[in-house]
Amino acid sequence: MNDIEGINSVESIKAQINRILTAYAKEFPSQGVIFSGGLDSSIAAFLYKGAKLINVSLENYSSDLMYAAAVEKYLNTKVDYVRVSVDEALEKIPEVIRILKSFDPALPNDLAAYFAIARAKGSGIKSIATGDGADELFGGYGFMQQIKGLKAYIRRISQSMFFSSNVFAEHFNLEIRQPFIRKEMISLANEDTDTCFKIRQEKGALFGKWILRKAFEGFLPDEIIWQSKRPLEFGSGMTKMREIISEKISDDDFEKKTKDYGIKFITKDHLYYYEIYRGIFGAVPKPQSYESICPGCKTGIEEKPHHCRVCGWVKSIDGLCLKVS
Q: How far apart are the first and last CA of the chain?
A: 32
Q: Are 82 and 265 in contact (CB under 8 A)?
A: no
Q: What is the mean pLDDT of the chain?
A: 90
Which domains, ranges and CATH numbers included, belong to the chain? 4-235 (3.40.50.620), 248-322 (no CATH)
Is the pLDDT at 3 greater than 70? The verdict is no
Q: Are 271 and 257 in contact (CB under 8 A)?
A: yes
pLDDT for 304 equals 61
What is the dihedral sign for C-alpha 6, 10, 15, 17?
positive
Q: Minimal CA–CA distance to 208: which of 229, 224, 223?
A: 229
Kind of pairing, strands 52-58 and 79-84? parallel
Alpha helices in the chain (DSSP H): 4-27, 39-47, 65-74, 86-100, 107-122, 134-138, 150-157, 164-171, 183-187, 210-215, 222-225, 232-235, 240-246, 251-261, 268-281
pLDDT tens sequence across 227-245: 988 777 667 888 899 999 9
Q: What's the whole-number mean pLDDT along residues 201-222? A: 95
pLDDT tens sequence across 131-155: 999 999 999 998 899 998 999 999 9
**Predicted TM-score (pTM) of this structure:** 0.90
Is the pLDDT at 127 greater than 50? The verdict is yes
User: 33: which strand partners?
Assistant: 53, 129
